[in-house]
Amino acid sequence: MRVAVIGLPFFGQRVAEALVGAGIAARFLPSPVVEPRRFPRVLAELLRADVVYAIGSRAARGAPADLLVRLRKRLVLHWVGSDVLWARRDAAAGRLSSRVVERAVHWADAPWLVEELGALGIAAEEHPLPLPIAWGEPVPLPETFRVLVYLPVHPGEAYDVEGTLAVIRALPHVPFLIVGGFVPPVPLPNVEALGFVRTMADVYHRSSVLLRLTRHDGISHSVIEALSFGRYAVWTYRLPGVVRVATPAEAAAAIARLRIEAVGPNELGLRTAARYRADVVISEAAERLRRLAG
């Protein structure tokens, strides 16, 4: 069985590698828009594939997914976050392809994305992305309560940077660790900016809570990673073992409570993280793809 993986390179390349490890002949194909000279070869591989697996792709008329459905290819669209926002825009503008909506197989990596897609008339099933997430082993919480934040050097619009900084300022006696390269524009005495960190285990060992405030998200791998270390998470979305918050004020209040109440590893979070173990999600996806290919 041949599977052609297209879409977001950050996910697509790793998913293809994971599927190969599960015994599937999968290959990530770069976008012809990015590499026009490879268009003939990419098209030939798409036509030969038994299943085309698109991650983070558009479902608009005239988009690659629409063209593949016209060619009667077995197509899986795996929705992961920002692509759902594009689908909303396409639906509002009347550009959403009814062919893709009706003929493609739709997976979403989070339950709220299933709901958002349902509002657009897209029936999706919840399935995690089949790729390995950085994994830890639960260790006791540190003696000093600290909150970990991930923000890249140049945060995209999905990150609520101002809300995150508001939480930090509201808790001046709580130490915060920031990884990812972001540095607050105005120095904050309770922030330790660690820059880009390749091995996160030591950082999680120093932390009790992960704070993630976003405007829109799929399943956050940093949240799952934190849960796997037995850490607590304060996030904009609800998962078992995660404290869901809607505003910076709620986030600050949740962290203040956890500072008092969190005395041992997050047991419910550990059970949630187990759902996303690589051996589980990769084998499940491989079996579903085999069934689709017939």
CA 103 – CA 70 distance, rounded (Å)? 10
pLDDT at 34 over 80: no
DSSP for 31-85, written as a single string:
-TTT-GGGHHHHHHHHHH-SEEEEES---BTTSHHHHHHHTT--EEEEE-SHHHH
pLDDT at 155 over 90: yes
Report yes or no on whether pTM surpasses 0.85: yes
CATH of domain 147-274: 3.40.50.2000
Give the CATH number of domain 2-130+278-293; options: 3.40.50.10860, 3.30.750.210, 3.40.50.2000, 3.30.413.10. 3.40.50.2000
Residue 120 burial (CB count, 10 A): 16
Buried b (16+ CB within 10 A) or exposed e, 158-187: ebbbebbbbbbeebeebbbbbbbbbebeee
> What digits encode the pLDDT tens for the residues 218-266?
999 999 999 999 999 999 999 999 999 999 999 999 999 999 999 999 9
How many CA within 13 A on the CB side of residue 292? 24
Question: What stretch(es) of the chain map to CATH 3.40.50.2000?
Answer: 2-130+278-293, 147-274
How many CA within 13 A on the CB side of residue 47? 7
Which of 32-46, 128-142, 239-253 ranks highest by mean pLDDT?
239-253
pLDDT at 33 over 70: no
> What digits encode the pLDDT tens for the residues 59-73?
999 999 999 999 999
Angle at CA 220, nearest 5°, toward 205 and 192? Answer: 40
pLDDT at 40 over 90: no
Q: Mean of the pLDDT values across residues 274-280?
A: 94
